[in-house]
Amino acid sequence: MSLVPGRLPHAIAEVMKHVTHMNDATPYRKSGSGQDTRAGQYVVDTMTSFGLDAYLQTFETYDSDLGEAKLEIVSPEHRSMKALACAHIEATPEGGYSSELVDVGPGGLSDYEGKDVRGKIVLAEVSYAPSTPEKARIAAMKGAAGILLMNWGLDDGEDIPWRGLKSVWGNPTPETWKDIPRLFGISISRRDGIAIREMMKAGPVTVKAEVTSIREWRELKQPICWLRAPEYSPERDQFIIVSGHIDSWNPGLTDNITGDAVMMEIARVLAERRDTLRRSVVFCFWNGHEVAEAAGSTYFVDSHWEQINRNAVAYLNIDSVGMKDTNEFHADTCPELSTYVTEAANTVIGDEVPVVIGRLDRFGDQSFFGVGVSAFTGRHGFSPDIVKKYNGATIGWYNHTEHDTIEILDTSVLERDLDYWTRAVAGLATATVLPQRFSPRVADLKARFARMLDGKKDPAELTRITAGLDMLEGDVAWLDAHLDALAAGNAPDAAVARANALSLRLTRQLTFITGSACGKYGQDSYGVSTLHQPVPLLASLNDFDAAAPASLEAKLLTTKLIRLRQTVTDAIEAAHAMIGDLKSSV
């Protein structure tokens, strides 16, 4: 039985009305600029006109504005280069800072092997390998004084991107305050970066940077808009979180005016069919995304944690939709929603372009992994050969530059993205039985733990985890069959509600294990390298494996790993007990 609804009567003309207004009236929506608030008020007014409960949520965060930047090649020749200051950086000393330049390629941990960058400026490429804030965190950790970021795109590209370097996700705590990179940062074009690399082939290159910096705590506002299911709906308190970011660089048409416009149109369509909704939907337009690093979504999690933990069905993030010249459709999903997401994508896209289903990683505003909310995203994107041609530009060579304009938009692509998202949201809001199925989640857990433990010492009897997953595998096979039977028949509402509630509780137990390095109640740094481990929560197993036997480090890590094992086995046991309780009652 399909849970994906047929085409709903959405209107691309309505989407373009919002795109045009935001592009003309609020082209520079940088957090704290004032235009971010004006754009937010437009969203609130629009959503209120559809009958939603819409308001601007106010929060305080550690933000930053752009300063001024100058860059000179001092030797082996003298040359000035165009540059932009990054946000969330330290200023250079008065008069500037000069040093030898060290090329660290992509800027990941392994790229620093054999290189002493203490007090020097490093040259790194803009990419997601790792993300830019993680490049800055690693550079600062290695003792670099500054980082010079060469753009992605074609090697002769002259575009210079705006970039933020605050790696700490959301607001810092006393423990993470020190993890905010304390170095200066400058962006340059790829053409100039290539020219510098050519100079470095002949010998050392010295550069001089002058950069100013503005960092401050400030209040931001973001639109939160509730579409409440009818009072008589049996699961009205449950809700789907539909989100995109409202702050952006100038003009940020596909990043993220188009996403915001799609969200408003989905709200209009569903509001006209409110009487069909089984669950509510909250549309969140995050502020503090680009520079304060997911500050708005993190604040929403912190301010609504108990409500999210109890009743959030899924988290959907809509970003960078409608991009021109895309040649694939990319949908990234958590395991338990993989079947639903695949069906939605194939239903809408058909054979227009290849559909690529991927694993959802923690990026953008994915602030809900710790809580354990099922999540997915989706948009038209670029095939690997195009990404390679543009040196890692996964979301367009124009991203975060002045060229992300109306010329980049393809309305036919945007309409298909709109169709995908409208059906995906409507399906979750109206389905009698939720589409989560848990055999893929347990299979993913088993595969990840097998990779994590492969060939490593095991001081903490971590194989207890794999034994628990073996037990859970049979449990979820029964549960998935039970959910399918409920979806196919006319089951009593009480039985359906109980099964749906169990689906939510299971995601809370099983998501954080592989989606978070810091556990259920914190936020990992943006793009932190630990998250690329098969099981981020057990990343310290690598440290134990490298430690000298019987060393103090090994002894301390043994205790840490034992307690982490307990965290995981406790979650598995809780999942086993929940399914057992349901099984005994049917």
The pair of structure tokens assigned to 516 is 């978070």
Mean pLDDT of 50-64: 98
- Report the half-sphere exposure of 456 (CA within 13 A, side-chain side): 22
Residue 450, SS3 per DSSP: helix
Confidence class of residue 527 from pLDDT cuts 50, 70 and 90?
confident
Q: What is the pLDDT of residue 115?
A: 96
Segments in 142-257 forming alpha helices (H): 190-202
Q: Residue 446 pLDDT > 60, yes or no?
A: yes
Q: What is the pLDDT of residue 433?
A: 96
For the chain, what percent of residues have pLDDT higher than 90? 92
Q: What is the pLDDT of residues 268-315, one digit of tens each?
A: 999 999 999 999 999 999 999 999 999 999 999 999 999 999 999 999
Q: Does this model's pTM top 0.85?
A: yes
Q: What is the pLDDT of residue 1?
A: 53
Q: Residue 39 pLDDT > 80, yes or no?
A: yes
- Euclidean distance between CA atoms 138 and 130, whole angstroms: 10
Among 43, 16, 15, which Cα is nearest to 29's? Answer: 43
Confidence class of residue 8 from pLDDT cuts 50, 70 and 90?
confident
Strands (E), 21-94: 53-65, 69-75, 79-81, 84-85
Amino acid at 247: D
Higher pLDDT, 528 or 371: 371
The pair of structure tokens assigned to 70 is 């100058």
Residue 266 parent element (H or E):
helix 258-271
29 close to 221: Cβ distance less than 8 angstroms: no
Mean pLDDT of 156-177: 95
- Euclidean distance between CA atoms 265 and 268, whole angstroms: 5
219 close to 172: Cβ distance less than 8 angstroms: no
**Cis bond leading into 76, ω under 30°?**
yes
Q: What is the pLDDT of residue 363?
A: 79
Q: Residue 110 pLDDT > 80, yes or no?
A: yes
Pairing of strands 214-227, 280-286: antiparallel
Give bridge partners of residue 245 from the DSSP assignment.
286
Confidence class of residue 362 from pLDDT cuts 50, 70 and 90?
confident
- Exposed, middle or buried, 81 (CB in 10 Å: 0-12/13-18/19+)? buried
Residue 186, SS3 per DSSP: strand
Confidence class of residue 6 from pLDDT cuts 50, 70 and 90?
confident
Handedness of CA 126, 321, 432, 339 (dihedral sign): negative
Give bridge partners of residue 470 from the DSSP assignment.
none
What length is written for the chain? 586
Among 187, 186, 97, which Cα is nearest to 145's? Answer: 97
Q: What is the pLDDT of residues 380-437, one digit of tens each?
A: 999 999 999 999 999 999 999 999 999 999 999 999 999 999 999 999 999 999 999 9
Calculate the average pLDDT of the chain. Answer: 95
Mean pLDDT of 470-491: 94
Q: Residue 379 pLDDT > 70, yes or no?
A: yes
